[in-house]
Amino acid sequence: MALGKWLVWLLAWPGWVWAQTDSILQLPMATVREVRFEQTGYTAWRADSLPVAAALSLADRLLWENTLSVRANAPGTLATVSARGAGPSRTPVFWNGLNLQSPMHGVVDAALLPLWPGDRLEVRYGGQSAVQSSGAIGGAVLVEPGMSQTLGWSRQLGAEAGSFGARQLQAGVAYGRSRWSSQLRALGQRADNDFPFKNTAQIGQPQVRQVNNRLERWDVQQFNRLLINDKNVLRTAFWQQRAFREIPPAMTEVAAETWQRDAATRAVATWEHRPAVRALWQTRAAWLDEAIYFRQFSTTDSSRSRTALLSSEYSSRWGEKLTWKTGATALRQWARADGYTDSTRWYNQTRLAAFGMAEKTWSGGRVSLLLRQEWAERQAAPFTWSLGGEWTLGLAGKLRGHVSRNFNLPTFNDRFWRALGQPALRPEKGYSADAGWVLERKNGQLELGGFHLLIDDWILWQPGSDGQFRPGNLRKVWSRGLEVAGHLRGARGRWQWKAGARGQLSATTNLEVYGGLQSVQGKQLSYTPRQSGSLSLLLQRGAFSGGYLHQVTGSRFATTDNLVVLPAFQTGQFFLHQRIVLHRRMKLSLDLRIENIWNTPYRILAYRPMPGRSGRVGVGLSW
For 303-355, what is each residue's pLDDT tens digit?
999 999 999 999 999 888 999 999 999 999 999 999 999 999 999 999 999 99
Separation of alpha carbons 622 and 588, rounded Å: 7
Residues 355-384: what's their mean pLDDT?
93
Least confident of 275-289, 465-479, 552-566: 465-479
* Measured CA angle at 223 (ends 217, 229), to 5 deg: 175
Confidence (pLDDT) at 14: 32
Residues 98-106: what's their mean pLDDT?
95
Confidence (pLDDT) at 245: 96
pLDDT digits (tens, 9 = 90+) for 407-458: 999 999 999 999 899 999 999 999 999 999 999 999 999 999 999 999 999 9
Q: Which residue has the higher pLDDT, 216 or 12?
A: 216
* 57-82 residues labelled b (16+ CB within 10 A) or e (exposed): bbbbbbbbbbbbbbbbbbbbbbbbbb
Residue 408 near residue 134 (C-beta atoms within 8 A): yes
Separation of alpha carbons 268 and 289, rounded Å: 12
What is the pLDDT of the chain when averaged over all its residues? 90
- Assess whether pLDDT exceeds 70 at residue 577: yes
Non-local CB neighbours of 515 within 8 Å, separated by 6+ positions? 462, 472, 474
- Assess whether pLDDT exceeds 60 at residue 126: yes
Separation of alpha carbons 426 and 456, rounded Å: 10
- Assess whether pLDDT exceeds 80 at residue 64: yes
SS (H, E, C) 461-514: EEECCCCCEEEEEEEEEEEEEEEEEEEEEEEECCEEEEEEEEEEEEEEEEEEEC
Residues 355-363: what's their mean pLDDT?
94
Residues 351-380: what's their mean pLDDT?
93
Instruction: Identify the H or E element spanning 22.
Output: strand 20-24
Residues 381-408: what's their mean pLDDT?
94
- Assess whether pLDDT exceeds 60 at residue 130: yes
Separation of alpha carbons 279 and 273, rounded Å: 9
Q: DSSP class of residue 339?
A: T
* Number of CB atoms found within 10 A of residue 378's CB: 9
* 273-301 residues labelled b (16+ CB within 10 A) or e (exposed): bbeeeeebbbebebebbbebbbbeeeeee
Cα radius of gyration rounded to whole Å, the chain: 24
Residues 558-575: what's their mean pLDDT?
94
Residues 367-376: what's their mean pLDDT?
95
Confidence (pLDDT) at 37: 58
Separation of alpha carbons 101 and 81, rounded Å: 11
Residue 308 near residue 331 (C-beta atoms within 8 A): yes
Separation of alpha carbons 527 and 622, rounded Å: 42
- Assess whether pLDDT exceeds 80 at residue 36: no
pLDDT digits (tens, 9 = 90+) for 167-207: 999 999 999 998 999 999 999 999 999 999 999 999 999 99
Separation of alpha carbons 70 and 60, rounded Å: 9
- Assess whether pLDDT exceeds 80 at residue 480: yes
* Number of CB atoms found within 10 A of residue 618's CB: 20
* Number of CB atoms found within 10 A of residue 40's CB: 23
Task: Kindly report the pTM of this predicted structure.
Answer: 0.92
